[in-house]
């Protein structure tokens, strides 16, 4: 059967795109290999062991690719801690840290193998976000150096491949359901490890706490640790648990086989991170989700969540270290005497003049862990930043920040359109809106649109953005 000119052109373009994806991915592997110190064969083997399944799943366009990438994001920081402990050596900049980004890059292969079909309504938000990133990268490259700005760019840009992947393959509703339920199961497993960590503090976690420049993790002793589970800090762990909890409380089909027991496990995992901001933004996300539902559904879900919350609150004092956990949350009722709250207010007061004096922004690589790359492995001046909204504006500048937030508005509009469609798709779209608005609310504390936080947000947004056809998932 002969192909017409259009068909031949498409095959040629597809082949070129696939080859380009392979070359880009191979280049990333080459850069990662250069970063691995000579003789550190174990790290290289670990990276290859993590990457090979992703490459194979991407090549055959398996529906298990996204669940596997979620797994890598969740466990690699823990694997790195075990490796450092086994070598009795800590390096603040580890090649294993970029393994989640490299596995996510394998999404380029199925994107290249398919005709790109991103909904038209996403082109304008994509263009605005792209313009903001290009501007921030240019400023960051000149001001902060190549390594820091490139690392930050990758953390913002690579997770966005999830949106492109959903647009290129337009996977079935059943596959999108698999993304959510696998995320929930991984969160349950991570919460169980977090509970174990809280009670016993494994030696590899204690070793890391004694070496890392981070004083908000508590002390490396049982019942005195702020749990980070298999993630790399309490805040990322709380983000992960919070998103899973939102899904589990949003609809019973996302609770998995453990049902309400799984909800209780993730709730307890979130509690022992002691990240109160995650509870507030979880509440925001759930309110948003149920605002789209019927009154009956809202009341039923609210009643179930309240009963479980009251039971958990009553049980915590009887758990090891329970009083310490309750005291942490009781301070939310007395914000005037809450040290953390007042410290954040003072920080905002100090940063606003800095922002007004630098309306052009500091560019990518100026805020967060990327500052280590141009600072001999030590955290930079703005490495720890306690306000996400100001962090975005300082990174992108006032104009770039406006484009960034306008792009988020465009994504919300697209998800709002999807709510009018088939029931299962509608519930995923509502969850995408809820997670996205929860992340916006989280900007009062931290910026979660890059790295793991960005990966979580775009995963749920991608699950909710679908072409105008019947979804294949179960009815909502």
Q: Average pLDDT for residues 86-103, to the nearest whole number?
A: 88
Q: Using one digit for the tens of pLDDT, what is the confidence trace for 376-406? A: 777 777 877 888 899 999 999 999 999 999 9
225 forms beta bridges with 218
**Residue of higher predicted confidence among 214 and 48:** 48
**Through-space distance between the first and last CA atoms of the chain, rounded to whole angstroms:** 43
Mean of the per-residue pLDDT values of the chain: 83
For residue range 275-317, what is the model confidence (pLDDT) as tens digits?
A: 888 888 888 898 888 887 666 666 766 676 677 667 767 777 7
Q: Give CA–CA dist 274/263, Å, rounded.
A: 17
Say yes or no to pLDDT of 191 above 60. yes
Output 316 or 474, whichever has higher pLDDT: 316
Residue 209: pLDDT band (50, 70, 90) is very high
Q: On the CB side of 384, how many CA atoms lie within 13 Å of its CA?
A: 10
For 323, 331, 333, the CA distances from 328, given in Å and listed in that order, are 9, 6, 10
Least confident stretch, 20-29, 155-164, 177-186, 339-348: 20-29
pLDDT of residue 468: 47
Share of the chain above pLDDT 90, in %: 49
Residue 321 pLDDT > 90, yes or no?
no
Can you give the pTM of this predicted structure?
Answer: 0.87
- Please report which confidence band the pLDDT of residue 4 belongs to, taking 50, 70 and 90 as the band edges: low
- Residue 39 in this model has a pLDDT that exceeds 60: no
Q: Give the model's pLDDT for residue 283.
A: 87
Which of 41-50, 332-341, 415-424 is modeled with the greatest confidence? 41-50
List the one residue out of 431, 414, 409, 427 whose CA is nearest residue 467: 414
Rounded Cα distance, 386 and 248, in Å: 29
User: CB burial class (10 A; 0-12, 13-18, 19+) of residue 34?
Assistant: exposed
Of the pLDDT bands very low, low, confident and very high (cuts 50, 70, 90), residue 373 is confident
Taken in order 389, 393, 399, 405, the sign of the CA dihedral is negative
304 or 111, which is more confident: 111
Which structure tokens are listed for 397?
A: 């500048």
CA-wise closest residue to 238 among 260, 209, 216:
216
């Amino acid at each position: 059967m002969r192909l017409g000119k259009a068909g031949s052109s498409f095959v040629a373009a597809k082949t070129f795109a696939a080859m380009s994806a392979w070359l880009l991915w191979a280049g990333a592997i080459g850069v990662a290999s250069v970063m691995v110190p000579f003789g550190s064969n174990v790290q290289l083997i670990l990276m290859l062991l993590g990457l090979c399944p992703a490459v194979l799943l991407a090549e055959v366009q398996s529906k298990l690719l996204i669940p596997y990438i979620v797994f890598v994001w969740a466990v690699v920081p823990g694997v790195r801690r075990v490796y450092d402990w086994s070598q009795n050596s800590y390096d603040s900049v580890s090649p294993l840290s970029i393994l989640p980004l490299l596995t996510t890059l394998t999404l380029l292969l199925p994107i290249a193998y398919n005709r790109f079909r991103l909904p038209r309504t996403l082109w304008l938000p994509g263009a605005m976000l792209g313009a903001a990133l290009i501007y921030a990268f240019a400023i960051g490259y000149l001001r902060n150096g190549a390594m820091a700005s490139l690392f930050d760019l990758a953390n913002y840009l690579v997770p966005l491949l999830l949106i492109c992947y959903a647009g290129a393959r337009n996977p079935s509703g059943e596959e999108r359901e698999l993304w959510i339920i696998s995320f929930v199961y991984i969160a349950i497993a991570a919460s169980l490890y977090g509970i174990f960590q809280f009670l016993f503090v494994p030696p590899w976690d204690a070793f890391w706490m004694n070496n890392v420049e981070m004083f908000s993790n508590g002390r490396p002793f049982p019942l005195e640790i702020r749990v980070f589970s298999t993630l790399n800090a309490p805040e990322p762990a709380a983000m992960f648990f919070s998103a899973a909890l939102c899904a589990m409380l949003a609809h019973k089909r996302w609770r998995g086989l453990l049902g309400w027991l799984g909800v209780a496990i993730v709730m307890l995992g979130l509690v022992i991170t002691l990240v109160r901001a995650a509870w507030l933004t979880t509440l925001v996300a759930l309110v948003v989700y149920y605002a789209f539902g019927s009154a009956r559904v809202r009341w039923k879900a609210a009643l179930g969540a309240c009963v479980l919350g009251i039971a958990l609150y009553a049980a915590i004092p009887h758990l090891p270290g329970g009083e310490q956990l309750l005291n942490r949350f009781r301070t939310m009722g007395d914000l005037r005497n809450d040290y953390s709250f007042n410290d954040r207010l003072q920080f905002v007061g100090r940063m606003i003049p800095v922002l007004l004096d630098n309306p052009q922004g500091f560019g990518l690589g100026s805020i967060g862990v990327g500052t280590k790359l141009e600072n001999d492995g030590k955290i930079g001046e703005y490495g720890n930043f306690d306000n996400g909204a100001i962090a975005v504006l300082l990174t992108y500048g006032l104009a770039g920040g406006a484009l960034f937030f306008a792009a988020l508005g465009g994504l919300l509009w697209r998800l709002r359109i999807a709510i009018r469609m088939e029931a299962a798709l509608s519930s995923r779209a509502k969850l995408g809106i809820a997670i996205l608005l929860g992340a916006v609310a989280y900007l009062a504390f931290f910026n979660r649109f890059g790295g793991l936080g960005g990966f979580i947000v775009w995963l749920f947004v991608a699950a909710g953005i679908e072409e105008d056809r019947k979804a294949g998932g179960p009815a909502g």
